[in-house]
Structure 1
Amino acid sequence: MIGVNVGQKFSLVEEFWKPSIIGELNGQLVKLAKLKGSFVWHSHENEDELFYVHQGTLYMEFRDRTEVINTGEIIIVPKGVEHNPYTKNDEEVWVMLFEPANTQHTGDVKHERTHNNQQWI
Structure 2
Amino acid sequence: MDYHPINLNEKLSKFTEHWSPKVIGEMNDYQFKLVKIQGDFVWHKHNETDEVCIVLDGEMAIEFRDGEVKLSKGEMYVIPKGVEHKTYAEKESHIKLVEPRGVVNTGETEGELTAENDVWI
TM-score, normalization: structure 1? 0.95
Residue equivalent to 1:69: 71
Structure 2: how far apart are the matches of 1:116 and 1:107?
12
Residue equivalent to 1:111: 111
Residue equivalent to 1:93: 93
Q: What is the CA deviation profile of residues 82-116 of structure 1, one whole-angstrom value per residue up to 9, with x for unaligned ones?
A: 0000012xx10100000000212211101100014
SS of alignment partner, residue 104 of structure 1: coil
**Mapping for residues 1-121 of structure 1, pairs under 5 Å:** 1=2, 2-88=4-90, 91-121=91-121
SS of alignment partner, residue 39 of structure 2: coil
What is the identity percentage for the equivalent residue pairs of Structure 1 and Structure 2?
A: 39
The structure that is strand-richer by fraction is 2
Structure 2: how far apart are the matches of 1:48 and 1:31?
14
4+ runs deviating over 2 angstroms: none
Stretches of structure 1 lacking an aligned partner (at least 5 in a row): none
CA RMSD of aligned residues (A): 0.9
TM-score, normalization: structure 2? 0.95
Count of matched residue positions in the alignment of Structure 1 and Structure 2:
119
Stretches of structure 2 lacking an aligned partner (at least 5 in a row): none
SS of alignment partner, residue 11 of structure 2: helix
